[in-house]
Structure 1
Amino acid sequence: MSAAGHRTDEASTTVDVRPDAALALRLARKAFMAGERVDLQQLAATLDVDRTTLFRWVGNRDQLLVSVLTSLADPTLRGAAEAATGTGPDRIGRVVGLFCQSLIDATYYHAFLQRETERALRLITTKASPLQQHVVAGFERLLEQERDRGHLDPTIPLPDLAYLVVRIAESFIYTDLITGEQPDAHKADVAIAALLHGSQHR
């Protein structure tokens, strides 16, 4: 594969590499991380395809934004889990704190929240959102790990507990949009650790 993105066989015949859904997502993610509005018409023009083709690849704008946000949430949560120390409730609290701080510090994420507040909160923080479901599932896996290691013995079912963890985290990430106060990742860390300690069998 050459740097130009073409394959050349022994007869020097080039075969174009056509754009696809993966490329569309990468370009949308690049624009998003540059603090720009993800625009389907502009994206279709860049890919040299019509809107119908682009819709078939990535869905509507909300669906594309959810895909972009999910692609960013996964490595952020993974990085937080790898960096967090401790065990049980304290470790999960630290994961949440690091995850929240990463989102608070991301200028492109803040730009999206400010530019499209209503849409952002609807896509990110509602239970019907595939993104929230995805993040809840990620935290449920972390809770399962701590339980299986013998560091967590909650009285609340893990799916419900994971949902509570995410909702509390959201309240501290988006507090400037909800109450006008400054987001605070440390408070999220402390609140989650307290919740999980309090939910343990005694």
Structure 2
Amino acid sequence: MSGSPVPPDAPARPAGPAAALAAASEHYLRGEPIEMSALAAELGVGRATLYRWVGSRERLLGAVLAEMTERTYRVAARGVAGDGAERIIRVLDRFMRAVVDAEPLKAFTERETRLFIRLATMPGTIEDRATELLTKEIQAEIDRGRLSVPLPTRTLAQAIVRVADSFMYAHYLGGNRPEIDQALEVVELLLRPCGESSGPPER
């Protein structure tokens, strides 16, 4: 549990920002709250030191969610068939469904819905990480000659991330449920020439 004393024979955790992120991520994955006083005690440092490492609780949570975004994306992209726009749409389909089904995220959003929406939908660490991952994915398809896009790659990736977020988190923004199918329809329009369509992605 959060705040439990560390056993005396437990291996020493390396100090620094990376250790703080790793410890916070462990609590997140267990569905536990991330409290700064308890985290500092767990790491064997004072609150002032922890804040010096991570900047603020909100910044630390943003870093944790960005790390989870990357982990989920890499799992979603593993073994996906197809190429060009078809591959990217399939990856996004798997990624978005994995995100909305993730139990740690459900636990976090039940406790801190407004904070999550602010972190997830505004420019910042999470959007930057998702944009970076998608930029690489799109550029790889361009480099293979399997995709041609009318916008700079990063601009397109950022637009797709923002579209995906607005639909994926629709249930937190006043809607009844995540609208992943609608998000994929819009992404397909951004990735494909007018009139070209592959139909819904296979799951």
Provide the TM-score with structure 2 as the length reference.
0.83
| Structure 2, unpaired ranges of 5+ | 1-8, 196-203
Alignment partner, residue 185 of structure 1: 180
Do the aligned residues in 1 keep the contact of 2:88 with 2:138 (CA within 8 Å)? yes
Do the aligned residues in 1 keep the contact of 2:131 with 2:161 (CA within 8 Å)? yes
Alignment partner, residue 110 of structure 1: 106
Number of residue pairs matched by the alignment: 187
Larger Cα-atom Rg: 1
The residue type paired with residue 64 of structure 2 is V
Among 88, 93, 104, which residue is 1:92 paired with? 88
Do the aligned residues in 2 keep the contact of 1:84 with 1:94 (CA within 8 Å)? yes
Give the stretch that moved more between structures: 35-44 or 111-120. 111-120
Alignment partner, residue 8 of structure 1: none
Alignment partner, residue 22 of structure 1: 18
User: Counterparts of 2:42 and 2:150 in 1: how far apart (Å)?
Assistant: 52
Change (3 A) 1:114 1:4: closer
Secondary structure, aligned partner of 2:63:
helix
Provide the TM-score with structure 1 as the length reference.
0.84
Change (3 A) 1:185 1:107: same
User: Counterparts of 2:182 and 2:79 in 1: how far apart (Å)?
Assistant: 18
How well do the aligned residues superpose, as a CA RMSD in angstroms?
2.1
Among 170, 173, 178, which residue is 2:168 paired with? 173
| Structure 1, unpaired ranges of 5+ | 6-15
**How far does residue 154 in structure 1 lie from its aligned partner after superposition?**
0.7
Identity fraction in percent:
34
Among 25, 28, 31, which residue is 2:27 paired with? 31
User: Counterparts of 1:174 and 1:59 in 2: how far apart (Å)?
Assistant: 27
Among 138, 143, 146, which residue is 2:138 paired with? 143
